[in-house]
Amino acid sequence: MSRRVRRTKDGVRHAVVLRDGVEGFVVRGTTHCSGCTELGDYGGGSEYYDFDMKAQCLVGTGCDECGYTGKRRQTYWAPFAVFE
């Protein structure tokens, strides 16, 4: 079985993933952990956290939500129609 590939307007190729009959693709990214960078048990102002240039996000102090790394790897499904 071959994988279907489709390009978005910016020319990036994505593997097609069907969800409820709608074609889309998977978007992955690293973001700061909301558990340890936002106000709450662990958090404080953003001026207190280092910035990770590779991931392009703040690095929190670490908590049980992010596995004590200060960052979260997130995955979303996005329909192609949004990017066309």
Each residue of 12-43: pLDDT tens digit?
A: 888 888 888 888 889 888 888 887 777 555 55
Give backbone dihedrals phi and psi of 35, rounded to 5 degrees, phi first: -70, -30
> Of 54, 53, 36, nearest to 45 (Cα)?
36
Could you give the number of structural domains in the chain? 1
> Of 82, 74, 77, 83, nearest to 28 (Cα)?
74
Residue 60 above 60 pLDDT?
A: yes
Distance CA 84, CA 78 (A): 12
Q: How confident is the model at residue 1 (pLDDT cuts 50, 70, 90)?
A: very low
Q: What is the pTM for the complete model shown?
A: 0.60
* Residue 48 C-alpha from the chain's centroid: 22
The predicted pLDDT at position 50 comes to 84
The predicted pLDDT at position 62 comes to 82
Q: What would the DSSP string read from start to end of 22-66?
A: EEEEEEEEEEE-HHHHSTTTT---GGGSEEETTTTEEE----TTT
The predicted pLDDT at position 40 comes to 52
Q: Which residue range forms the structural domain that includes residue 76?
A: 5-83
